[in-house]
Amino acid sequence: MPRVSRRRFLQYTAMAAAASILGCTGYAEQPVLPHYDFESLPGLGVTARRAGMDYGAAIRYPQLSEEAYASAFAKECSVIVPEHALKWEGLRPAAGVWNFQPADALCEFAQMHHMKMRGHTLVWYFAFPKWAQQALDKDSGARMLEEHITTVVGRYRGRVSSWDVVNEAIHPEDNQADGMRDSLWLRALGPSYVERAFSLAHAADPSAELVYNDYGAEFSGKRADAILGLLRRLKDKGAPIHGVGIQAHLWATHAIDVKKLQMFCKEVKQMGLKLLITELDVKDSDLPDDIALRDRLGAARVRQFLETILAEIKPQQILTWGLTNKYSWLAMHDQNASERPVCSLPLDQTYQRTPVWKAIHDCLIKLQSGLN
């Protein structure tokens, strides 16, 4: 009986655990491949461009000052998305006060590295400063919406190529007509605030790609249908909408509704809209601590998600919500992240490529070779 090394034994045990966990979520995990040097492969942005699309990531302005991270970001990404700097909360700390410096610096970084820049996000119910919440009502709503969008989109005209114009306007749980979210924007302006926002953004920069961004299209439930309903209404009204962003905050242990995601992609294509994957990452807070296991389960989920979409439509961009586990928002929002590093993104805490990196790379290679 050949001796099984401790490392190999641990791998087999982890695989058995993975198979049992993933089995319950309906997706067989990829076999554990022998380690090979994928550090020498080109950045995801290069591979994506060769497949006729883009890969990029969200970044918070303070992270730019870390040289190692800035160069890892430049190596991997062809698109940059400010994680916070272009939100109301990031831009407008107080009434009448505009803080463009972080977004300007990110824009400069993008131009220096020949990256595209996405703007996230002009209208959202969250990250909406207290002063604005108190000011927004039926009388002020139209002026506040116009002033904000015209100022921000106008400032970055020709430099921000694509905007999340409205983010997360759908929330069926609020029991509003058409599954709309019961937000201050809806109360101030009614559902037409969405198409108003798109028209204002188009007027401020006719060359910008305008996107509606939301989450949950990949899961069972009412969200995907409600998002599609909103897109159809926008198209029927002639709103200048060019694409839809699905955020793709996946879970390693929550099954994707493959049929629903396939239907969603077909409908988006039928409407003539582009599809962007805007905030891809994998939550795994309910998994055991074993990092190798979590890496593999997360990568298996990313691979399943991307393969499902790529079989239906070629996304305009694949964007992860952060590039390195070290700076994932999940660490900020997961109280036990300090003992248990996040395993969610293409680079680990020391900027080494992870199985999630490989899953995205492999899907891009398949796209390049037309094997989808």
Binding positions for ligand G3I, rule: CB under 6 A: 60, 83-84, 87, 126-127, 167, 247, 279, 329, 332
Q: Which of 63, 71, 99, 130 is nearest to 322 (CA)?
A: 63
Task: Using the minimum distance from each CB to ligand G3I, give the nearer residue, 8 or 333.
Answer: 333
Active site residue ranges = 168, 279
Kindly state the smallest distance separating residue 64's Cβ from ligand G3I, in Å: 13
60 vs 269 by CB, closer to ligand G3I: 60
SS3 230: helix
Name the residue number minimizing CB distance to ligand G3I: 329
Nearest approach in angstroms of CB 2 to ligand G3I is: 48
Distance CA 23, CA 264 (A): 25
DSSP codes, 246-293? E--EEESSSPP-HHHHHHHHHHHHHTT-EEEEEEEEEE-TTS-S-HHH
Instruction: Enter the tokens of residue 207.
Output: 């060359």
Pairwise CA distance, residues 119 & 353, whole Å: 26
Residue nearer to ligand G3I on the CB measure, 217 or 367: 217
Alpha-carbon distance of 169 to 190, in angstroms, equals 12
Q: Please, what is the minimum distance in Å from the beta carbon of residue 279 to ligand G3I?
A: 5
Dihedral over Cα of 295, 301, 305, 310: its sign: positive
CB 300 within 8 A of CB 294: no
Q: Please, which residue, 164 or 295, has the CB nearer to ligand G3I?
A: 164
Q: Min. distance of Cβ 201 from ligand G3I in angstroms?
A: 17
Shortest reach from residue 331's CB to ligand G3I, in Å: 10
122/360 with CB nearer ligand G3I: 122
With beta carbons less than 8 A apart as the criterion, state whether 76 and 45 touch.
yes
Tell me how far the alpha carbon of residue 157 is from its chain's centroid.
22
Q: How far is the CB of 84 from ligand G3I (least distance, A)?
A: 4
* Of 65 and 369, CB closest to ligand G3I: 65
CA torsion through residues 224, 230, 231, 232, sign: positive
- Kindly tell me which of 24 and 332 has the beta carbon lying closer to ligand G3I: 332
Closest to ligand G3I by CB, 51 or 136: 136
How is residue 51 annotated by DSSP? T
Distance in Å, CB of 39 to ligand G3I, minimum: 27
Shortest Cβ distance from residue 171 to ligand G3I (Å)? 13
Are 281 and 250 in contact by the 8 Å Cβ rule? The answer is yes
CB 307 within 8 A of CB 364: no
Rounded CA-CA distance 70/73 in Å is 5
Strands (E), the chain: 54-59, 79-82, 116-124, 162-167, 209-214, 243-246, 249-251, 274-283, 317-320
Three-state secondary structure call for residue 212: strand
